[in-house]
Amino acid sequence: MKRAAVLVIACVLSMPAHAQPGFDDVRAQWRSSDWVLLSRDGEPLARTRIDKRARRGDWIALADVSPALREAIVVSEDKRFYAHAGVDWRGAAAAAWGNLWNTRTRGASTVTMQLTGLIDDDGKPNGRRSIGEKAQQTIGALWLERSWRKDQILEAYLNLVPFRGEIVGLSALSQTMFGKAPSGLDEREAALAAALVRAPNAPYAKVAARACVILRDMRALHADARSADPCVNLDSYVQLALTRTAAVPAVAQGDDALAPHLARRIAGEVHPAAGARVRSTLDARLQRFTRDTLARTLAELNARAHPRNVHDAAAIVIDNASGDVLAWVGSAGGLSNAPEVDAVLAARQAGSTLKPFLYAQAIDERRVTAATLLDDAPLDLATGGGLYIPQNYDHDFKGWVSVRTALGSSLNVPAVRTLVMVTPHRFAKTLVALGLPLSQAGDYYGFSLALGSADVTLASLANAYRALANGGIAKPLFDIADHRPAPAGTRVFSPEASFIVTDILADNNARTRTFGFDSVLATRTFSAVKTGTSKDMRDNWAAGFTSRYTVAVWVGNADGAPMWDVSGVTGAAPAWNAIVNYLNRRSDSRAPHAPPGVVTTRVTYQDDLEPARDEWFVRGTQMSAVGLTANAARSTGGVTTGAQSARIGAPTNGTIFALDPDIPPARQRVWFERAGSGAPLAWRLDGKPYGHDARAAWLPWPGRHVLQLVDANGGVVDQVGFEVRGAFAKPTARAAK
């Protein structure tokens, strides 16, 4: 035996240096079976399988392998690993003697010899080797030991050795079977991993028996006298662990899947190869916080006491200056019926979120100023299909209101009046210039475009708001760090109009008529924000920006089902607020500086229609007093003022009221108005008295109702029937299941 060893060593010493690759070569040639999406700082965000032949993870340095696993491998595969020079001659002699007498004994192959075979076979397992192959393996092992350090040999072995099924290397095994990094493997997990090296595809009972032997050998190595048997319940543990390897998803789960939707989109555009690492612009911490915030929002909306039937949410965060996408959460709904849908890219009805762009265009066209009065009164517009009759969220008409109040409080009728001036055709062209994916021309949507009847995506909507934050210049987004050209952008609004609209969206006083003073839309530092909800409560939005970031959130159902009792300030807005506050934790957001083209002027209103205030104007459009001209007197909306018999002026018979889901239900009202003159009269609703005022507000309740105007004797002077429909109706027992 000694003479054979001397001959082999002599052969090794005479071999050229290139007979086996170096450690650095082997490591450099390693390719994961996945491509990995990285954050801007290099943290893995998602892994997507490309190579279907084998599942391989990243190369793992020996320093990142738990001591328990290193010990388990040596104990089970090569007890004298640190003592021999590549070939365990003592073990080889024992194996030969055992084979001679047909005695069962461990094989003579050392870790180094096995590694030689793995390198030659490109990491693929093979069967029994011939005498010639064994000789070559022996020679190769001696050469490796001469050229490589022991730690390099063990590191390469752990990365190249096949485990169970298609799994090759410790990284893939650790993540697939144990759901953790190799550095965190404990004693039992290490023994199981080592047991699979000898018999990768053996039945779980055989694997468990092998793992038990390894555990006991590890205890014996340290003279561990602990009383507990390490093999207790090992069979069931091994069976469960091996089951996890049966079905592994193409996209990794857990924190390795922080951005699966973005990864899927990038894969479709870039087509990365196996082993590729694509660096994105995402911030891993912000991505994780955004995902968790949306999940928490959904949990709160679906609390058992008041379920809202909302299962999905999405969010995007953009750096205003660079256009880098810092967070992209396509879905955060654990209850979702369509978790694969990327809601950041799904086209949905925009609701009131388009109003800021409408007013910015009207200001640029010198049609209105922030102080201009708009008549919030009943409006009938002739269309090709009949009459378009917009209603406010609370079915109350505020009368004359300023543009600041109309936008801040999201009043619908003034927005439609503004669109009449701008025209749907020109407004649609502006929206397209902002990057919103309108599929039709403006005339297709008509005047309903003012209220957001067009479909947009969350990504395009957020980038449109970013244009306001950047003074009216629209630029593209970037989500891959290595592909970022620097286009000049397209100017859509003037800096002056963008500044004035931003100032309105940041004005908490301007939104009080709808949202009150204590609103979740208000943040600790500067922010500008607008909410929106589509018809039938299918989509709820909150979009806005700070001095550095634009944030947009969508809440709804990916399958299009309507939500229950979710308003603009209870759905997306709380999540939006939380994300903005998270972003501002390091530095405060500051309001933008006024551009040279705007001036501030003290404004007073005729008859104190609104309180006097300092207002921003585009230079040349400022005014100090705002009033009503004689021919602009408010329309009575069908309520006559002459001396004629009394009747019900509003609502008219057969009216159907649809509640606006963008506003809290407690703030919505239907107004009863008396027309004409006569003796004192009273209201009676559904057979019950309801006051004596000529104009009375009623908190709407879904269903059919009868309103009567009665005299002092209870006689009916006039009567109308109307119906209330909306998203605040309680779901039926069947729908709630």
| Cα–Cα dist 102/504, whole Å | 91
**pLDDT per residue over 82-106, tens digit each?**
888 878 776 555 555 454 444 444 4
Q: Do 555 and 674 belong to one domain?
A: no
Taking 50 as the threshold, does the pLDDT of residue 357 lie above it? yes
Q: How far apart are CA 150 and CA 147, in angstroms?
A: 10
Q: Does the reported pTM lie above 0.85? A: no
Domain count, the chain: 3
Strands 55-56 vs 167-168: parallel, antiparallel or unpaired: parallel
Residues 148-189 pLDDT 10s: 999 999 999 999 999 988 899 999 999 889 988 999 999 999
Are residue 597 and residue 696 in the same domain, yes or no? no
In a domain, 130, yes or no: yes
**Residue 196 predicted with pLDDT over 50:** yes
Q: Are residues 545 and 596 in the same domain?
A: yes
Assess whether pLDDT exceeds 70 at residue 391.
Answer: no
User: What is the structure's pLDDT at 485?
Assistant: 64
- CB neighbours (10 Å) of residue 461? 27
Together in a domain, 389 and 519: yes
Tens digit of each residue's pLDDT (9 = 90 or more) over 680-709 = 899 999 999 998 888 888 988 888 999 999
Give the range of the structural domain holding residue 102, as residue numbers without chain letter.
1-30+61-161
Question: What's the CA angle centered on 361, arms 358 and 366, to 5 degrees?
Answer: 125
409 & 541 share domain = yes
pLDDT tens-digit series, residues 715-724: 888 888 888 8
Q: What's the rounded mean pLDDT across residues 346-366?
A: 96
454 and 524 share one domain? yes
Sorting pLDDT into bands at 50, 70 and 90, what band is 728? very low
Q: What kind and span of H or E run contains 375?
A: strand 373-376
650-682 confidence digits (pLDDT tens): 887 777 676 766 666 677 888 888 877 667 899
Q: Are 607 and 396 in contact (CB under 8 A)?
A: no
pLDDT recorded at residue 634: 31
CATH number at residue 134: 1.10.3810.10
| Residues sharing a CB contact under 8 Å with residue 174, sequence separation 6 or more, in sequence order | 57, 180, 181, 182, 185, 193
Of 655, 90, 158, 610, the closest CA to residue 402 belongs to: 610
pLDDT tens track for 3-36 = 555 554 455 444 444 457 899 999 999 999 999 9
**pLDDT band, residue 737 (cuts 50/70/90):** very low
- 714 class by beta-carbon count within 10 Å (0-12 exposed, 13-18 middle, 19+ buried): exposed
pLDDT at 19: 59
Q: What pLDDT is recorded for position 496?
A: 98
Give the mean pLDDT of the chain. 83
If one compares 478 and 666, the residue with the highest pLDDT of the two is 478
pLDDT tens, position by position, 267-282: 888 899 998 999 999 9
What percent of the chain lies above the pLDDT cut of 90? 47
Can you tell me the mean pLDDT for 490-505? Answer: 98
Domain final residue pick, 161, 187, 220:
161
Give the residue among 677, 662, 649 at the shortest CA–CA distance from 572: 662
557 lies in the same domain as 662:
no
Q: Over range 253-263, report the average pLDDT.
A: 75
Q: What is the pLDDT of residues 294-351, one digit of tens each?
A: 999 998 888 766 778 889 999 999 999 999 999 999 998 677 778 889 999 999 999 9
Domain boundary among 161, 181, 215: 161
Number of neighbouring beta carbons within 10 Å of residue 289: 18
Helices (H), 62-130: 67-77, 89-100, 111-120
**Does residue 474 have a pLDDT over 60?**
yes
